[in-house]
Amino acid sequence: MKKVLLGLLLILGVVSFAAPKYVDKVKLQKNSYQIIQDEADVFLFGKSTEDVGLTVGIYNIQESNDMAKKISEEVKTGAPAEQKFVSSRENNRAYVNKFKANDGSYTYSIVAKKTKIKNCYISILYITAKDFKDVELDKVVDKTLNEVESYLK
């Protein structure tokens, strides 16, 4: 799971970025997240449990023309070869791409549609053994986005 998580970090490296002042780093570390990349325009953090691997990218991008959708598409096209694209969907909060790895695990790429902070885009990789169906996936997306947004000041 950790190898897959680290491999997928490369997907989030689409845009290069010091910790944004709007990220609560103390709260992140208190909740067992590891800061992976801490630069001016990109902030990456993640955590891995037995059931779930989570990597989050918070990007400060000045362009706003449908940027969330562009990020979602870039994740889809930049996925490693061992991640097979399964499906794509969207709900009222996010664009979601589903991938299946050679080991049978699933990766859900979640890109928030709306920015809580101007020009701040959230991209999440959620790795699990579970094959979520639409309703269950929407709940996971909401819960995960709520948690990630709670780390923004």
Picking from 1-5, 22-26, 70-74, which range would have the lowest pLDDT averaged per residue?
Answer: 1-5
> Which domain does 100 fall in, by range?
2-149
Calculate what percentage of the chain has a pLDDT beyond 90: 69
Q: The sheet that has 42-48: what strands, in order across it?
A: 34-38, 42-48, 52-60, 120-128, 106-112, 94-101, 83-90
Number of domains composing the chain: 1
User: Residue 115 has what pLDDT?
Assistant: 85
Q: Region 101-120: what's the mean pLDDT?
A: 93
Measured CA to CA in angstroms, residue 12 lies from 59, 74, 79, 139 at distances of: 10, 9, 9, 23
Q: Judging by beta carbons within 10 Å of its beta carbon (0-12, 13-18, 19+), is residue 93 exposed, middle or buried? A: middle
Q: Give the pLDDT confidence of 45-92 residue by residue, as tens digits.
A: 999 999 999 999 999 888 777 899 999 999 999 999 999 999 999 999
pLDDT, position 17: 40
User: What is the pLDDT confidence band of residue 141, given thresholds at 50, 70 and 90?
Assistant: very high
**Measured between alpha carbons, how far is 3 from 66 in angstroms, rounded to an integer?**
32
Which residue has better confidence, 15 or 43?
43
pLDDT value for 22: 78
Please state the pTM of the whole predicted model.
Answer: 0.85
The alpha carbon torsion through 128, 134, 140, 144 (nearest 10 deg) reads 100
Model pLDDT, residue 136: 97
